[in-house]
Structure formats: structure tokens, C-alpha cells
Structure 1
Amino acid sequence: MALAFTLAERFRKRRHQSGYLSFMSVTSISGIALGCFVLILLLSVMNGFERELTQRLLAVIPHGELFSVGNEGIEDWQSLQSQIASDPRVSAVIPFTPVTGLIQKKGSLKAVSVAGIAPQDAQHTLAGVLSDNAAEALKNKDNGVVLGQNILDRLALSVGDNVSLLLPQSSNIQQMRAPKRLQLVVVGAIQLGGEIDSQIGIMRLDTASTAMNIVSGAKGLRISAHDPFDAPRIVRDYGYAFYQPVYMSDWTRTHGHIFQDIQLVRVVVYIVLTLVIAVACFNVVSTLVMSVRAKQASIAILMSMGATPSLIKKTFLLQGLMNGAIGTAIGTLLAVLITPNLTGIVSAVEDVFHVKVLSSDVYFIDFLPTELHVTDVAVTVLISLTLCVVAAWYPAANAARVQPAQVLS
């Protein structure tokens, strides 16, 4: 093997190659490097989106919800809360009352979905998102409300401003009824950096329940699971067993499309960029085929000196593997160096050219996240090197079939 490696290295050096062979070799190495670089980079971006979905979005939206069909709310919700909270799959259960309406400030209106939550539950479940001052103000003000930052920006609101929440009124007869007006004071903001900021709001549970005429004091229960993917099963386990008719919902119904889109893009990236690497690797075939033809005399001399066909085959397999290894190493190194800094690089480009790659009005975050996984790097390297060996097999086999007598005659 050492002799095969030495021969492969000597055959690969440029001074033993024509200009065209050198160009083909550089082209194949560059293609492999580019494919590995882009594949690792994009997989890291997908990992970043998945991390932000789990840590940012799922930290605010409920993993699961059970809420009553009628306006009476969930009867004896304290007992159900204790029962669900004892489940080892569940991390937290809090009562809530949803309020959907229009926030009005002077002549401006903005649709919003406000969740009525007890102040202590809001401070616990939204730790790191809701400031201590906002949580304390929400606790002290019966009519306090915390709104997403995008809502405040669109309505030119700031902390301490008075706003009106217009609530639709149902009627048993077919006639329009004036909306119910609830006067609130903005006591804080929630800023996650995405579309959720333009929808979310929090107010006191007792205020929301009174406004919505909830007799029991809570419309439903919000469930947070240790593993968000357990939420659909947890919700159905308790929802189907509950004696009172309830609606069941979980994050996979409301925001599951985001996770599905991430997984779909990941699969597409894998397929497309693996094919790109494959095309670059199979350029090795052209390089080695021409190299074998150019070095037939050298191969014949080696065989006449006792080199076996197996040694010649290993030599050209190693030559193809060297080209692939160099391209793979360059692409992987660039990806490992650039990926952790990609968020800052993209932000700098946005500032220079005054463009926005991800708009918070469309996406659930407004920056490009990345998270480098060792497994993605290892799989990419393995795929690249395997394809290089497969591509080099045919020209290496042809080299082993060279007949010294015919070449040297």
C-alpha cells in the first residue's frame, strides 16, 4: 500500500501532467470542494431553523391546548390541571382564556390574539421572553396587556399607552351588534424577531375571562411537554377521556407546516447537492482516463519491473481518492470556518446593501440561523470520498489491464 501511495502521489503531481490534465484535475477538486461546502452550510442553516423553531417559537406558543366548546369554560379545571401536571411527559399546565379582536389606537386597527394568563404563569412560562418589569406590571394592573413588538411598531405604541381592544359580540338573531370595547394599558412588549411578534398578546386571566363571560374562570388549559413532539398524543389522551366536550389543538396543527417545510428543504438539499458532488466526483473519471492513457508507458515499465495489476489498480484508485480528499478537505474546512459566522456575515451584507434576507412579516424569525452538527460534516465527507472511490474504479481497472508488450513494442 505504501508503494501504491507513493506512485499515486508522483502520478498526481502537475509536473508529470499536461496542462489540460492539470486543468481537469483542478476542476474536479474545485467542484467537490464547492459541493461539500454548500451542502454542509445549507444543512447547518436547516439545523439553525429547527433550533429556533424549538427554542424560540415553541417557547412562546403552547405545545397543546384543551378548551371548552361552550362559553362556560372548563368546569373544575383545577382538578384536570393537577391530573395533567402529574404526567411525566408534561412540563407545565396553565389555565388560559383566548381573546381574539382588534387593537385600536386612534384610527389604526390591528388584529391580535391575546391569551389571558395568570401573571405568575406568564412569568414562569415566558421566562427569558417576558421582562421582570412587564410581569410585575401585569400583576399589578388589572387592565394591563403585553403585546408583540411588531404590533407596537405598526400602531406607534409604547409602554404606558392606552389602547382599546374591540371584541366581536355574538347574537342569536341575524343582526349586527356593536363590538365590545375593552380599555387596556400597554405594560410591556414581547420581541422574538419574527411573525409571532405581530400576533401575540398577553393579559390577565381574570380580566380576559370576565370580558369573554367565562363562568368557570378559564376557557381551557395550555400544556407544555418536555418533548414537543409528544404534545399531539398528550392532548388526545386527556381530551378524549374528559367528560366535558372540549376542542383539542396542538402546535403541529397551528405551526407544524414550518417544521415540515424545514424537513422538506433538508431532503431536497441532500439530494441536489449530493448529485452536485457526484457530478464533480465523476469528473475524476475523465481525469484518470486521460492520465492512464498519458502514462501507459510508465505503467508498462512498472509492470515489466514486477508491478502487479493489483498494485496498478490501487495506485490509480488512490490517485482519484487523493483528488477527492483534497476537494473534500477544502470544502469542509471552509464550511466549518464560515458556518459559525454566517449569521454575522449575512447581517453585514444586509446593512451594506439595505436588503432583508428574511422578513419578520413572512418568517417566524428575521435573521439567518446556523448550527453546525458533527454528524452532517461526517456524512458529507463520507459521501464525497465514497463517490470518489466509485468514480475512480473504472479508470483504475483499465490501468490494470495495460499490456506491457503492446505498449513498449
Structure 2
Amino acid sequence: MNSLGIRLAWRFRQGKGQNGFASFISASSTVGIALGCFVMILLLSVMNGFEKELKDRFLAVIPHGELIAVSPGGMQNWQHHITRFEQDQRITYLAPVTKMMAMVQTGAKMKAVEVTGIQTNSMRQSRIREMTELAQWQQFSATSNAILLGQGVLKKLDVKIGQKIQLLMPQQSMEQGFRPPKSIWFEVAGVLKIGGELDNHLAMVHLDKASEILGIQSGAQGLEFGFEDPFAAPALMRELGFAFDQHVYISDWTRTHGHLYQDIQLVRTVVYLALTLLIAVACFNIVSTLVMAVNDKRREIAMLKTLGARDSLIIQSFMLQGIFNGLIGTLVGILSGVVISVYLSELALWLEKLIGIQLLSGDIYFIDFLPSQVNPAEVIITALIALSLSVLATLYPAIKAARIEPAKVLNH
């Protein structure tokens, strides 16, 4: 690209006799590219923010994987298995667990919950302690018949801390007929504030209490795992489960809560496709602009070719004219997208205060704010996509300009 080609492209772009409609189309192509880059960077940053919060908040509380004994007597010799699994560097925490479905009743109100029996001194409980107040956790640890309820459960039942609630457990029977549910009284020691759907159906009691209710002789129904990389949980759980010396059910977080991650990936794919098409449509305006520019500059092109200008110089001039539009639009879109994405959480909070409406509800989503995280690799990919489409859009008009025959044009 020699300096003469750049000067000609700039002169053609700034020509005083340029068609007004062509100027409008040229400006719209630049704005369209900028808008496409801006929205793509913004939405991808939001998707990255949701994925980061999913990993740091949601997956820090729920187990990444579980091995649950098939036998109704529970997992045999689970203490030995914990000692053995602790040697695996991929595992960040291990804890025995007993789970059951039950109904919480207080007065005439009832709510279905998933009750998890936990050890208060296990590695995982350091994460759960962050979801409740210290005094409430100490009260839970000191009381054998204490229970922690999710925030949504407390609101649904209108229960207060320290109040007695009744836990109803269905009883299995091999005989025909109805057996009344087993009733156990617990004292509400605290509230779990995890966020999202978990708050609406989560309850925790002591491990030995849960095992006693279910009649598990070994003391634990199974083991729950945490991994350094939560997204490797499906493969790791199958590896550990297939090598286990007892019959167990293998589960991981992608089977129970994987829809959150899958939704994020689906939206990310849709954003890439939709906004790439938006940028492509904006680049089609570059084609229209350059085609009209070629028609307006036919005499100038003929004179240049008569003076000895090569076809390569003409092609360079018109390609650069279109690339200017793409480059300006890309730079404006990328810079504005990055700046807004960095301060998106603060802007969303300011908007919520201004209009008095919460954009994300903690009762539905696992967070109550709009997250954002800029990924430099995605910024570079977005810029390359926009610039590549801009270059491709200039090829046809530039080649058309180079094929102009000076004799035919000058005769007219």
C-alpha cells in the first residue's frame, strides 16, 4: 500500500462533489459496524460475568459431584475412602453427606425441601459458613436438632430464627396400605443466603441426625466432591465412580444445575451469530458506498489510468476507502464497548436507583446484580471479524473500478 494509494483514497473519500446519498450510506456503514462491535463486546462481557459468578458463587456452594451408595444401609467405610481420595490433587474438598426429600410444616403452611445432612467440621462447611451469619452457624453447630433453611423457604413459611418447625418424612413400606409420614421437630438456627432457586428448597441438618432419620447404619449415604476445575466434574466423577469398590450412583453438578451453564453458552453462540450478521449487513453498505463512488469517479479513474496508473493502484485506493470506514467503526465500537463493559455493574446499579426497578432478582437468579468481565481474546476476535468483513466488502467495487476502460469514459 504505497502513499499515493492512501492519498487517492483520502481524496476520493473527502471529495466535495460526492453524492449526498452516498455520504449517508458511508456514514451508516461506519455506524453499523461500530454498533455491532459495541453490542458484541458488551453482551459477551455480560456472558463472561455470569460464567465467572456461576463458578465463584454458585459452584462454590453446591457440590461439584456426588457418589451416593445404592445400598439402603449407606456407604460402607466412607472414612477410609475420604483418606484415599484426599491424595488426589484434583480434588479440593471431600465431605460425607446424607440427602432426603421432606416437607417442612409450620401451622397450616407446608413447603417441600431437599434436606442435606452435613458435618460442621468438614472442608466444605467453610464455604457454607459464608452464606449464613457467624452467630447462626455457631448456634447450628451447638444444637443437635437444629436446621438451616434457605431464605426463600423462610419467606414462604413466614418462619423466624429460633422457631420450632416440623419435618415430615415419607415412610417406605413393602405392605399395601398407607403409612403416615414420620414427624421430626427441629429448631431453626439460621438462614442460608445462596441465591436463586436453591434458596427456595434447601435445608441443612447434622449428618448424624439425617442418617438416624433414614436408618443409615454406616453414618453417611455418600460422598460429595469439589474440584479445582468445576467444568471437569463430569469426566472426573465417572472416573472415580467406575473405579469405586461399591455400587454407587454417580452425579455431578451439570446433571442437576447444568442448565444455567448451558443457557449461558447458548446465548453466547446466538450473540456471536446475530451480531456477526449485523456487522456483515453494515459491511454491505460499504459495497453500496464504493459502487456509487466508482460511478461518481469514473472520469477521474480514466484520467489516472491514462496518466499511467496501474490497476493495482486503483484497487488499493478504493479498498483503502472502504477500509477507512471499517477501521473507524471498529475502533469506535471496540473502545466504547470495552469502556461500558468495565463499568457496566456500576451503571446498572445507578440505573436501578434511577428507575426504581431491580434488573435481576435474587429470588430467581443466583445473583442480584449485572456482572461483566472483559475478555481480551474476544475483543481481538471481534475486531478481526469486523475488519475482515470490511476488507471483503471492498473487493468487488475495487476490482470494478480497475476494469474501467479510459477510452470509453473519455469519449463521453
| Identity %, equivalent residues | 47
Please give the alpha-carbon distance, in whole angstroms, between the structure 2 residues aligned to 1:135 and 1:5.
70
Taking a change above 3 Å as real, the CA distance of residues 126 and 361 of structure 1, as seen in their structure-2 partners, is: closer
Number of residue pairs matched by the alignment: 409
Please give the alpha-carbon distance, in whole angstroms, between the structure 2 residues aligned to 1:130 and 1:361.
16
Pick which of 78-87 and 282-291 moved more. Answer: 78-87
Please give the alpha-carbon distance, in whole angstroms, between the structure 1 residues aligned to 2:62 and 2:404.
68
Please give the alpha-carbon distance, in whole angstroms, between the structure 2 residues aligned to 1:15 and 1:146.
75
The residue that corresponds to 1:74 in the other structure is 75
The residue that corresponds to 1:385 in the other structure is 387
Matches within 5 A, 1:9-408: 9-13=10-14, 15-121=16-122, 122-126=124-128, 128-350=130-352, 352-353=354-355, 355=357, 357-408=359-410
What is the DSSP-based 3-state SS (H/G/I as helix, E as strand, rest coil) of the residue aligned with 1:62? coil
Deviations 1:335-376 (CA, angstroms, capped at 9, x unpaired): 112123333444444555555544445444443322211111
Deviations 1:156-176 (CA, angstroms, capped at 9, x unpaired): 233323222221111221222
Retained in 2: the 8 A contact 1:114–1:201?
yes
Please give the alpha-carbon distance, in whole angstroms, between the structure 1 residues aligned to 2:117 and 2:223.
11
Q: How many angstroms does 1:239 deviate by?
A: 2.4
Q: How many angstroms does 1:22 deviate by?
A: 1.0
Please give the alpha-carbon distance, in whole angstroms, between the structure 2 residues aligned to 1:340 and 1:106.
49
Please give the alpha-carbon distance, in whole angstroms, between the structure 2 residues aligned to 1:30 and 1:361.
39
Pick which of 267-276 and 295-304 moved more. Answer: 295-304
What is the DSSP-based 3-state SS (H/G/I as helix, E as strand, rest coil) of the residue aligned with 1:104? strand
Please give the alpha-carbon distance, in whole angstroms, between the structure 2 residues aligned to 1:345 and 1:172.
60
What is the DSSP-based 3-state SS (H/G/I as helix, E as strand, rest coil) of the residue aligned with 2:194? coil
Please give the alpha-carbon distance, in whole angstroms, between the structure 1 residues aligned to 2:337 and 2:236.
40
Pick which of 247-256 and 116-125 moved more. Answer: 116-125
What is the DSSP-based 3-state SS (H/G/I as helix, E as strand, rest coil) of the residue aligned with 1:164? strand
Please give the alpha-carbon distance, in whole angstroms, between the structure 2 residues aligned to 1:128 and 1:361.
18
What is the DSSP-based 3-state SS (H/G/I as helix, E as strand, rest coil) of the residue aligned with 2:343? helix
Please give the alpha-carbon distance, in whole angstroms, between the structure 2 residues aligned to 1:378 and 1:241.
44
Q: TM-score, normalised by structure 1?
A: 0.94
Please give the alpha-carbon distance, in whole angstroms, between the structure 1 residues aligned to 2:119 and 2:131.
16
Retained in 2: the 8 A contact 1:123–1:130?
no
Taking a change above 3 Å as real, the CA distance of residues 200 and 302 of structure 1, as seen in their structure-2 partners, is: same
Pick which of 349-358 and 13-22 moved more. Answer: 349-358
Retained in 2: the 8 A contact 1:123–1:132?
no
What is the DSSP-based 3-state SS (H/G/I as helix, E as strand, rest coil) of the residue aligned with 2:131? coil
Retained in 2: the 8 A contact 1:14–1:22?
no
Q: How many angstroms does 1:3 deviate by?
A: 1.9
Pick which of 371-380 and 325-334 moved more. Answer: 325-334
Q: How many angstroms does 1:14 deviate by?
A: 6.2
Q: Which amino acid aligns with 1:223?
A: F
Could you list the runs of 5+ residues in structure 1 that have no partner in the other structure?
none
Retained in 1: the 8 A contact 2:302–2:406?
yes
Please give the alpha-carbon distance, in whole angstroms, between the structure 2 residues aligned to 1:398 and 1:233.
56
Please give the alpha-carbon distance, in whole angstroms, between the structure 2 residues aligned to 1:135 and 1:404.
88
Retained in 1: the 8 A contact 2:195–2:363?
no
Q: Which amino acid aligns with 1:369?
A: P
Deviations 1:108-153 (CA, angstroms, capped at 9, x unpaired): 1111112111112253243533443333222111122222222222
Please give the alpha-carbon distance, in whole angstroms, between the structure 2 residues aligned to 1:164 and 1:407.
94
Please give the alpha-carbon distance, in whole angstroms, between the structure 1 residues aligned to 2:291 and 2:240.
67
Could you list the runs of 5+ residues in structure 2 that have no partner in the other structure?
none
Retained in 1: the 8 A contact 2:32–2:329?
yes
Pick which of 31-40 and 304-313 moved more. Answer: 304-313
Retained in 2: the 8 A contact 1:118–1:204?
yes
Please give the alpha-carbon distance, in whole angstroms, between the structure 2 residues aligned to 1:176 and 1:295.
91
RMSD across aligned positions (CA): 2.0
